[in-house]
Amino acid sequence: MIVPHECAGLRLDQALARMFPSHSRSRLQDWLRDGRVRLDGLVANEPKRKVWGGESLALEQPPTPEERAESAEDIPLAIVFEDAHLLVIDKPAGLVVHPGSGNWSGTLLNALLHHAPELAGVPRAGIVHRLDKDTSGLLVVARTLESQTALIRQLQARTVKRHYYALVIGDMRSGGMVDAPIGRHPVNRLRMAVVDGAREARTHYRVCERFGCATLVQCMLETGRTHQIRVHMQHLGHPLVGDPVYGPRRVADPRLSGFARQALHAFRLGLLHPASGQEMQWEVPMAEDMAQLIVALGGEAGYER
Q: pTM above 0.95?
A: no
The radius of gyration computed from the CA coordinates of the chain, to the nearest angstrom, equals 25
269, pLDDT greater than 60:
yes
**C-alpha–C-alpha distance, residues 203 and 221, integer Å:** 5
pLDDT in tens, 135-160: 999 999 999 999 999 999 999 999 99
Cα dihedral value 103, 108, 114, 118, nearest 10: -110
pLDDT of 14 over the 80 cut: yes
Percentage above 90 pLDDT, the chain? 79
255: left (phi over 0), alpha (psi -120 to 50) or beta: alpha
Question: Which of 101, 127, 202 shows the shortest CA–CA distance to 158?
Answer: 202
Contact 166, 286 (CB under 8 A): no
Could you please report the per-residue DSSP string of 221-263? ESS--TTHHHHHHHHTT-PBTT-TTTS-S--SSHHHHT--S--
- Whole-number pLDDT of residue 204: 98
How many whole angstroms separate alpha carbon 127 and alpha carbon 226? 15
For residue 64, what pLDDT band results from cuts at 50, 70 and 90?
Answer: low
Residue 305's pLDDT is 42
- Whether the predicted pLDDT of 16 surpasses 80: yes
Average pLDDT, the chain: 92
SS3 state at 302: coil
State residue 254 phi and psi, 5-degree precision. Answer: -65, -25
Task: Write b or e for each residue in 238-275: b if 16 or more Cβ atoms lie within 10 A of its Cβ, otherwise e.
Answer: bbbbbbebbbeeebeeeebeebebbbbbbbbbebbebe
Indicate the SS3 state at residue 175: coil
Q: Which amino acid is at 86?
A: L
Say which of 132, 134, 171, 179 is annotated catalytic. 132
Q: Tell whether the model's pLDDT for residue 268 goes beyond 90.
A: yes
Please say if the pLDDT value at position 213 is more than 90: yes
177-194 pLDDT tens trace = 999 999 999 999 889 999
Residues 6+ apart with CB under 8 A from 264: 132, 134, 135, 136, 164, 165, 166, 229, 230, 240
Q: Which helix (H) or strand (E) holds 18?
A: helix 12-19
pLDDT confidence of residue 69: 60
Provide CB contacts within 8 A for 210, sequence distance 6+: 171, 172, 216
Give residue 302's pLDDT.
61
Q: Catalytic: 132?
A: yes
Identity at 74, one-letter amino acid code: D
Query: How does residue 26 score in pLDDT terms, banded at 50, 70 and 90?
Result: confident
Predicted local distance difference test score (pLDDT) of residue 193: 96
Q: pLDDT tens-digit profile of 74-111?
A: 999 999 999 999 999 999 999 999 887 677 789 999 99
